[in-house]
Chain A
Amino acid sequence: MKRREQKGHLEPKSARLARRAFLKAVGGSAALLPFYRLLEDSVAQAASGELPLRFVGVGAYHGTTQRFYARQPGETDTDFDISYSDSCLRPFDQPELYGHSFKDKIIIFEGFDYGVARHYPFTYSNGTIAEVDLPMHGCMGFFLTGSQQGELEYDEGMSHTLQNASLDQYLAGLYGGATPFRSLELKTEANEDITALNLAAGEGGTLLSALTSPEEIWDRFFALLVAADPAALAYKRAVGGSVLDFAINDIQRLQTRLAGTEKQKLDQHLTVLRDLEQQLNADVTCEIPPRHAETGNADQADDYIVGTSHNAGIVDLDRVANMQIELLAQILICDLTRFSTIILPNFAGPITGGPQIPSLDGSYMVTGSIYTDIPVPADFHLEIAHKTSPDVATTLNVHRAAAAVQRYYHGKVARLMQRLQDAGVLDSTVILIGNEGGAGWHTLRQVPIVMAGGANGAFQTGRRIVAPGRIAQPGDYPTLPDGGGATSTLVKPTSHNPILVAVANAFRAAAGDPEIDSYGTCTLNPEFVNGIAGLI
C-alpha cells in the first residue's frame, strides 16, 4: 500500500524509536519480556505479509466480571476454554450461533488498566494526598485516545476534556482518504457528546458526533450507490462540486487569520468538505443492503424508535444495534470506509413500565433482560458494575449476570465478525473492543479489552496477553509479581496505551511508514503512553 498524502493528518506525540523507553517504562525486567516479545514477534510478521486494512473500535459498558473473563484454573496464554456457559467470551467460540468459531482470531488482554485516566492531587478524608483513578463514568473516551484527563471536566464527571485524537481517527487521518468516507462513527443511542458516551475524538481530543439512525446511516452511505440517470448525476456532481468549492475557498480565506486551536477547527472542517467532494464523485458498485425506515413501513412492526438517552429505556435499542451491525459490516465489505467506531447499547436504565421479573439478589428489577441469555437485572449498571467485587462471596449470580451482559456485547461483535468472515474481509480487519470501565466496583482496573479479527497475520491471535508487571490469576484479577493485589487505586496501574501503539504500528507498517513509539497523552506518568515501537 502506498502512503497517501498526509494532509491535516493526526500525529501522536512522538515517532522516534523507543525500544529503550518502552523497556524502561515496563521496568525492564525479564518477567515482562513475554508480552514484549510476543507482540514483537507477531507484529514483525506483518513486515512480510499483507497488513490490516480496516479498524473497528467497539465500546461497551458496565465493566466486567473477572471471574468469567480471566483464564480458568490450569489454563495458559494459549490453551484456554471460552466456550463454557458463563464465559464472558463465549460468543467468540459459538459457531452454532455465529457461523464460525473465532477463538483463534482473538487476543484477550488481561490486567490492562486505563492508567492514563488518573487524577492528582486527591485528598482522602484522612488527609492523605494521592494520585487516584478517575471514577469509571466518563471514561469511555479514554479507550481509543489513551489520553489523560484534560484541564476541565464537564457534566459532573461524565465528560472529561481529552487531549489527542482517538486511534480510529488517527488512522483515518493517515489512511482514510482512499475510500469515499474517511471514517464512520456509530452510536446506538442518540445522546449528547460526552466522554461517557463517545469513543471517537478528533485532533486535540475534540469529541466527534456519531450517526445513530439506521435509516440515516443507509442514506448517508448507500444512497450514492443507487444507480441514477447519468445526465442528472453529472449535473448533480457538477453543481455539488461547485458548491463545495465555494465553501472550501471560504474556509481557506478564513483560515489565514487563525492559529492554534482555532485553525484546527477549520482544518477539521476543511477535511470534511474535501471528503464530501470525494463522496460526491464516488463510483462504487456493491451489494446494497435493505433500507430500514424509522417510520411509515408497510408493516408497522418494522417501524422503530431511535433512542435519545442512555437512560431512557428505549425498547428498540437492540434492534437498532443489530441493524447498525449489519450496515457496518456491509459498509466495510463495500470498502466505503475502513475506519469505524461503534458504541453498543448501554441499558443503564430500566425499561419503565415493564413487567417485574425475579431479581438475582432480591433487589428491584423490571424486564429488560430479554437480550441476554440468562435473566439479568434490567438496570444492569446498578446491579452489576457496583457489585462485582471479588471479595463479596455472595454475588455469584451477579457475576453471572455481568458475564451475560458482556456476552451480549461480544455477541454483537461476533455477528460483525461472521459477516466479515463470510465476505472474506475479516482477516484484514482489526476490531478492538473496550469498555467504559474495568472489573469490580466502578474501577478502571482490568478493563476487558479484546482484539478480534485476522489483521492479515499482523498479530498472533488465539491467545491471552497479560499486562507487563502483572501475573495472571485464574478467575481473578492479575496480581503484582509479589502476589499482592493490583486493584487498589493506591497501586500504580498498568496502561493500555501499548495496545494502541501496536495497532497503530501495524497500519503504519502496511503503508511503509515509520513506527511510532507512543500514543496518547499522560503528564502524570509519561511512560504510560509508550508502546512497542521499532518492532516492524
Chain B
Amino acid sequence: MRRKLHVSAPLVFVAACYQGLGASPGAADNHTSTGGSAHDSDGGSDSGAVDVDAVWLPTRIRRLSTRELDNTVEDLLGTSVAISATLGSDLRQSGFTLNSEQRVDATFGGRLQLATETLAKEAVAERLDVLVPCASDPDQRACAAAFVDDFGTRAFRRPLTDEERDGLLAVYDLASTGVADGGEQLGTFAGGIEAIIRASLQSGSFLYLTELGTEGDGETLVELAPYETAAQISYLVIGAPPDEPLFAAAAADSLRNPSEREDQARRLLASDPRAGQQAARFVKEWLGIDRLADIDRESSVEETFATLRPMFEQETDVFIHEVLANGDGKLATMLTADFAMVNEPLAAFYGVPYSGVATWVQAPLEGTSRRGLLTQANFLSTYASNAPPGSSPVNRGKAVLNQMLCLSIEFPTDPEVAMDASEVPPADGTTTTRERFEQHSSVPACAACHKLLDGIGFAFENFDQVGKFRATENGKTIDASGELVGADVSGPYANASGLVDRLASSEQVSRCFARNFFRFVSGQTSNETESQYLEGWESLDGDVRDQLVELMVAYIRSDFFIKRRAM
C-alpha cells in the first residue's frame, strides 16, 4: 500500500483547526500548566491562522549523533572501534539523540580530534591495503589522489569539489613529505593517508548532514539536493551513510520521485540489519528506556543488577526486531504481545519456558501478568525506585503519561503542595507500596495528580525494582488493579495486562506515538510543525498509522521529508 502524506501547501492553511488530543478546548498551549492536573503536551495550534513559514522544517545542518558516527566510521574505515566511546553522550531533545541541536563544542571538538587521530592511525596500520588498494603502486601521489576521490566522496556523501580535492591533497603532500631540519624523512605515504582521513573526519562536510537544497535556488521553499536526499534516506532508515545504489540514484537525480525514495527505503529496510537497530533506537528513546546502562538498582534476585542489565537491554532490541521483522510491526503488538523474547537466564527470571539453545527465542506469556514492552524488565527497572528499593508507581505512571499519552505532569510549584508532595510515608516493612501511596494521595493537595499517576502506576505493582514478578509485598497480596483516568480509553483494569490492552486501543496513544516518531525522524521538537505532520498522519489508513515501518516509508515519500523552508 502506498499512500502519500497530505502535507501539500493548501493544507498548511487549514492546520489551524487542529485541537490537541486530551485537551479541553482552548487548553492546548503547552506553556500552560495546572496545579493539579495533567496538561496536554500535544501542543497543537488551537486558534488563529498558522504561520505558513513555521510549518515546514527549515533549511539547516544537523550534526550526526555519536551512534550515527559509529556507523559512519565503520562504513568508511572498516573499524570496529566505537568513536562514541570517546565522544561522550549526545545532547537530547525530547529524549531523542537524533536532533538538530547537536553542536561541536570545545569538549566534543577535542575528543573528536583525539578520536580521529586514533581511528586514522588504526585504520592505516591495520587495513592500508584494503582502504587504499593502489598503496603499492609506484606513483604514490596518483594513488593518494584516487584515495581522496573515493574516500572523500564517501565521507562527504557527495562528489568532492575541486577545492576540496586540492585541499585534501595538500594535506597529503605535507604529511607524506615532511623532512626534519636535520634531513630526516618524517613523512610517509601512510602518514599522508592518515592525515587525509583525519582532515576528512574533522570537517563540517563529514560531521553535518546538510538540508540546504541546491545552492542558488533563491526560493522560499526549497527541495533537498539529490545527494542530501540520499543521505537523509540512509541516515533515517539505517542510521548510516548512503550505499552505492543510493549514490547512483542521487547521481541520476531520481530521488525527487516519491516512489523511488520509497523503493530505496524498502530496499534498506529489507537488506540492512541496521534498519532494525534504528527502529529499536526510536522505540527505546521514545520510552526513555535506552538509559538503563546509567541506572543502578538493588537487585532482588541472586544475580547483580549489573549482570541483569545487559540482558534486559538486549531483550528490548530482540523483541522490537521480532515484531518488525516477523510480526505485523504495529504499535499495538509492541504493547500487548503475548510472547517475550528470552534467552535461558531471562526465561528463568520471567518464569517462562525456554525452548532454545543458547539464543533468543519466543516464549509464551500465557499465565503471567506480562504483556509487551511495558512489562519488560527494561521499562520496569528504568522506572523504579532506589530509596527505598522498590517499584515506583509515580515514575512508571509518569512515564506512561508523558511518553505514551503525551500528557505532562509537573512537580507542583505551589510551595504548600510541594511540601505535601514530598511527604510520602516511608517504607516500614509492613505496608505495601500501594498502601503508602494511597495514604499519600489521600492528602487533598496531592490527590489530583496522584489519581493520574497512580491510576497507571499501580498496574505495575506486581513487578519490583528490577522487574521481577511478585505476588506479595511485605506479606500482603499485591493489588495491581486500578483505573486509568485522563485518557480517551479511561476505565478500570485488573492488572498490567488490562492496562496495556486499554493503551493499545487508544487513539491518543497512537497520536502520541506518531508525534514522537516525527520528532525522531525530523530531529526537531516544534509544536507547529508537529501539528502539521499530525494532520497528514490522520489521513493515513489506520493500518499505516500504527505501523512503524510504514510510517517511516510514508514520511520518506512526503513533501515534509524533501522540502525545507529557506532560512
Contacts and interface: CB of A to CB of B under 8 A. Distances in A.
Contact of B105 (A119, A202, A239, A254): A202
B110 A220 contact: yes
A185 interface: yes
Contact of B199 (A159, A242, A389): A242
Contact of A254 (B90, B168, B191, B205): B205
Interface stretch (B7-15, B413-421, B482-490): B413-421
Nearest to A273: B109
B103 A239 contact: no
Interface stretch (A15-23, A77-85, A188-196, A526-534): A188-196
Given A254-B61, A349-B386, A441 B32 contact: no
A262 interface: yes
B35 interface: yes
Contacts of B187: 235
Contact of A269 (B109, B291, B418): B109
B180 A235 contact: yes
B88 interface: yes
Most buried by A among B171, B305, B415: B415
Contacts of A132: 413-414
A137 B411 contact: yes
Interface string A378-392: 110010001101000
Contacts of A192: 89-92
Given A251-B204, A489-B415, A242 B295 contact: no
A259 interface: yes
A155 interface: yes
Contact of A181 (B106, B175, B199, B422): B106
A154 interface: yes
A379 B387 contact: yes
Contact of B422 (A249, A268, A308, A441): A441
Contacts of B389: 352
A208 B109 CA distance: 11
Interface string A52-95: 00000000000000000000000000000000000000000000
Nearest to B194: A239
A513 B562 CA distance: 47
A91 B359 CA distance: 57
B368 interface: no
Interface in A486-508: 487-489
B448 A125 contact: yes
Most buried by B among A152, A244, A311: A152
B547 interface: no
Contacts of B415: 440-441, 443, 487-489
Nearest to A379: B387
A489 B106 contact: no
B516 to A, nearest CB: 13
B494 interface: no
A125 B420 CA distance: 15
Contacts of A313: 296, 386
B204 A269 contact: yes
A259 B566 CA distance: 10
B167 interface: yes
Interface string B108-134: 111001100000000000000000000
B91 A246 contact: no
B158 interface: no
A69 to B, nearest CB: 19
Given A133-B413, A254-B208, A489-B413, A123 B203 contact: no
B370 interface: no
Given A206-B103, A211-B107, A276-B110, A121 B32 contact: yes
Most buried by A among B104, B180, B423, B448: B104
B33 A265 contact: no
Contacts of A349: 296, 386-387
Given A257-B215, A389-B419, A208 B387 contact: no
Interface in A263-322: 265-266, 268-269, 272-273, 275-276, 308-309, 311-313
A190 B387 contact: no
Most buried by A among B184, B422, B427: B422
Contacts of A159: 92
Contacts of A157: 410-411
A350 interface: yes
Interface string B414-441: 1100110011001100000000000000
Given A242-B170, A352-B296, A231 B182 contact: yes
Contacts of A244: 202
Contact of A194 (B33, B92, B164): B92
Contacts of A250: 164, 167, 203-205
A364 B426 contact: yes
Nearest to A364: B388
Nearest to B386: A349
Interface in B38-61: 58-61
A272 B215 CA distance: 27
Given A125-B34, A125-B448, A239-B195, A249 B167 contact: yes
Most buried by B among A124, A181, A194: A124
Contacts of A148: none
B485 to A, nearest CB: 16
Interface in B215-272: 215
B398 interface: yes
A265 B63 contact: yes
Interface string A111-125: 000000001011111
Contacts of B443: none
Interface stretch (B74-82, B93-101, B327-335, B455-463): B93-101
A313 B210 CA distance: 41
Nearest to B409: A156
Contacts of A122: 32-35, 413
A369 B80 CA distance: 42
A125 B414 CA distance: 10
A101 interface: no
B101 A242 contact: no
Given A246-B167, A364-B427, A124 B92 contact: no
A410 interface: no
A265 B207 CA distance: 12
Given A125-B448, A250-B203, A243 B171 contact: yes
A183 interface: yes
A273 B210 CA distance: 20
Contact of B402 (A156, A238, A389, A487): A156
A389 B420 CA distance: 12
B450 interface: no
Nearest to A202: B105
Interface in A183-222: 183, 185, 190-194, 202, 206-211, 219-220
A134 B413 contact: yes
A312 B296 contact: yes
A260 interface: yes
B186 interface: yes
A247 B295 contact: no
B321 interface: no
B567 interface: yes
Given A123-B34, A239-B191, A243-B198, 20 more contacts: A122-B413, A135-B411, A154-B92, A157-B411, A209-B108, A231-B186, A235-B178, A238-B174, A246-B167, A254-B204, A260-B567, A265-B61, A269-B109, A272-B104, A275-B109, A276-B110, A308-B294, A352-B298, A487-B415, A489-B415
Interface of A: 119, 121-125, 132-135, 137, 151-152, 154-157, 159, 181-183, 185, 190-194, 202, 206-211, 219-220, 231-232, 234-235, 238-239, 242-244, 246-247, 249-251, 253-254, 257-260, 262, 265-266, 268-269, 272-273, 275-276, 308-309, 311-313, 349-350, 352-353, 362-364, 378-379, 382, 386-387, 389, 440-443, 487-489
17 contacts: A124-B34, A135-B413, A232-B186, A239-B195, A243-B202, A247-B199, A265-B63, A269-B104, A311-B295, A312-B295, A349-B386, A352-B296, A363-B426, A379-B387, A441-B422, A443-B415, A489-B413
